[in-house]
Amino acid sequence: MSPREPIVAGNWKMNMTWASAVRLAQTVSDYCEGSYANMEIVMCPPFTCLKGVQNVLDFDRSDILLGAQNVHEEMPDGTAACTGEISVEMLKDLDCSFTIIGHSERRAANGETDELVNQKAKLLLDRGITPIICVGESAEVNDRGESIKFVTSQVDAALDGLLPEQVASLVIAYEPIWAIGTGNIPSPEGADTVCGAIRNQIMQKFGHQAAQSVRILYGGSVKPENAKYFFSMDNIDGGLIGGASLDAKKFVEIVRICYDLKCR
């Protein structure tokens, strides 16, 4: 048994119409029904499909949890003059339990900084939504042998000013940029070393309890064929799954592998 509750989360990215999202959520819910106690399964559809997926999960009384892929960094102040943005209150309203923040795609394409990720983490924690904070290095940083230095500094910045109990409750996803959507994966031992360094960094800054409780996921080309290698590592508490989460069979197979390795 893992000392922490494992998580497998699907990041659907900018995929799915309402109808296809509802179908996917329904199929995943049917496959998972009652089978996976002591772990958390999360689906993170795009904003436009959150309500549709929530309806499915509600109707099925499913244990699967809902997550968003982003949130605006400000609390609505009464005027909410932020055209095109989605607030933390809107996510609460749809029963989102998790929100992905700082995904490398948003850092690259939307200029999201470590400071912004920190602001979003604080806002989510204040409102009772668990942040899934993404960190990960580029191929160049990896080639220079500086992955740990880079990733731990991202973690430091994202967690700046948080209380140890807040850190204990959140989720970090280590996603090397060069592994996302490419089919290239780090060795499981390599990924575990980086996740272990993140945990160690948290121990230094926030203490033993926070380090032992924080959940650290691996993400980047996780498939049913390679999931067991990552999930058998001690510092990896589950996965953040992109492409394979769009296929109900593959996603649930990854869930099952995680369950078998961490919950039995």
Give the CB-side neighbour count of residue 263, counting CA atoms within 13 A: 18
Residue 184 engages ligand 13P in binding (rule: CB under 6 A): no
Residue 222 engages ligand 13P in binding (rule: CB under 6 A): yes
Contact code string over 55-94 relative to ligand 13P, x by CB under 6 A: ----------------------------------------
| Active-site residue identified among 40, 72, 73, 103 | 103
Say whether 232 sits in a helix, a strand or coil: coil
Residue 154 engages ligand 13P in binding (rule: CB under 6 A): no
Q: Judged by CB, which is closer to ligand 13P: 103, or 122? A: 103
Residue 43 engages ligand 13P in binding (rule: CB under 6 A): no
Residues 6+ apart with CB under 8 A from 257: 224, 227, 228, 231
With tokens 């033993």, the residue in question is 208
Burial 145-154 (b: 16+ CB within 10 A, else e): eebbebbbeb
Number of Cβ within a 10 Å radius of residue 232: 13
Residues β-bridged to residue 135: 174
- Is 72 tagged catalytic? no
Smallest gap, in angstroms, from Cβ of residue 222 to ligand 13P? 5
Residue 176 engages ligand 13P in binding (rule: CB under 6 A): no
Residues with a catalytic annotation lie at 103, 175
Point out which residues bind ligand 13P (CB under 6 A): 11, 103, 175, 180-181, 219-222, 240-244
